[in-house]
Amino acid sequence: MKELKLKVKREYYNIFKELTDRQAGELIKGMCAYMYDNKPFFTKDAYLKGMFMTVKRDIDEAKRNSINGKKSIEAHAVKQRAKAMGGLGIVLGSVIASAEAANVEERA
């Protein structure tokens, strides 16, 4: 199963530089809680809330891409299994036909 990953973009680093250590810590913890635990971000700091809204769009997009990627991988796996089983049927059919032909020749 693919693991969720939160990427820290250069844009986020520029945001973090503008914040105090306390604000940056709160924002990072909020980002991780939102990404991995699906917990909403609560803060009394209006500026920090605005910064989170900027990051939230990217997190939501990453989650959507992860879900869509899993769907695509599963669909591809189903097609590959079907293709493999079809090829296996041809191989088994030829082996059985060869065995039957050899058995008929031995009896004759």
Report pLDDT digits (tens) over 3-39. Answer: 777 778 888 888 889 899 999 999 999 999 998 899 9
66 Cβ contact partners less than 8 Å away, ≥ 6 residues apart:
2, 4
Domain ranges of the chain: 10-107
* pLDDT, the chain, mean: 80
Q: Report the alpha-carbon distance of residue 5 to residue 13 in Å, rounded.
A: 17
Q: Model confidence over 91-100: pLDDT tens digits?
A: 666 667 777 7
Helix (H) or strand (E) holding 32: helix 21-37
Percent share of the chain, pLDDT over 70: 71
CA-CA distance, 25 to 100, in Å (whole number)?
A: 74
d(CA 90, CA 94): 6
57 within 8 A of 40, measured Cβ to Cβ? no
